[in-house]
Amino acid sequence: MYDINLIRDQVVPERHKRVMFSVVSLTVLVFALTGLSVLFFSVANTRVIDVYAKELRHLEDDLALLYPGNPSREELSIIFSRIEPQLKEISSGVGKRVEMTGIWHGLADAVPVSVWLTSVSLRGPDERTAKGKDGGMVLQGMALAEGRRGSALIREFARDMESHEVLARHVSDTKYVETGMSEINGTDVIGFEIVCKLR
């Protein structure tokens, strides 16, 4: 004996088929649009980069015409590597700078009558003066000889620099040396050099 089932296992209504088709179609459309968008933005981004690169090349060409002989990037790198130690030295010295205005006013006030300065210079600790002394602030000048009075004036000036109300805050270890006699317009003068450390 045979059993024959004439009833279908599952019957899918027609409207369910239409809904499924719509959902699948919409999903495929969304994926397709997303892919096209990504492709479009990639191409657009590449084109923008190309445009900026061309503009940059045009600008570099124009600058080269306006300013011939400009160093290339490689030459600039070499120049920067050469001056880098000096830049570091300058940067390190910023915190150790000395306010010179007070020192200049103090010097102008401390120089006695019959003594005048011909040169004031600053020298690093690795530099040497003409007489072999270490650098610092170096004063050169002359004093009227007036017998032995000229030498006494120079000695007092060098000593008083360390006790002057303004200079005492800035100078120390003051040393002087006489550089010889000379004559200016018939007047005997004594040359001198004073070296002191700045603090």
Mean pLDDT of the chain: 76
CB 142 within 8 A of CB 185: no
CA 165/CA 152 separation, integer angstroms: 21
Q: What is the C-alpha to C-alpha distance for residues 95 and 84, in angstroms, rounded to an integer?
A: 18
Residue bearing the bigger pLDDT, 153 or 62: 153
Residue given tokens 């239409």 in the structure block: 18
The span from the CA of 24 to the CA of 33, in Å, is 14
Contact (CB, 8 A) for 111 and 157 = yes
For position 87, what pLDDT does the model report?
78
pTM for the whole thing?
Answer: 0.46
Amino acid at 115: V
CATH (residue range 101-198): 3.30.980
Could you tell me the residue ranges of all domains in the chain? Answer: 14-97, 101-198
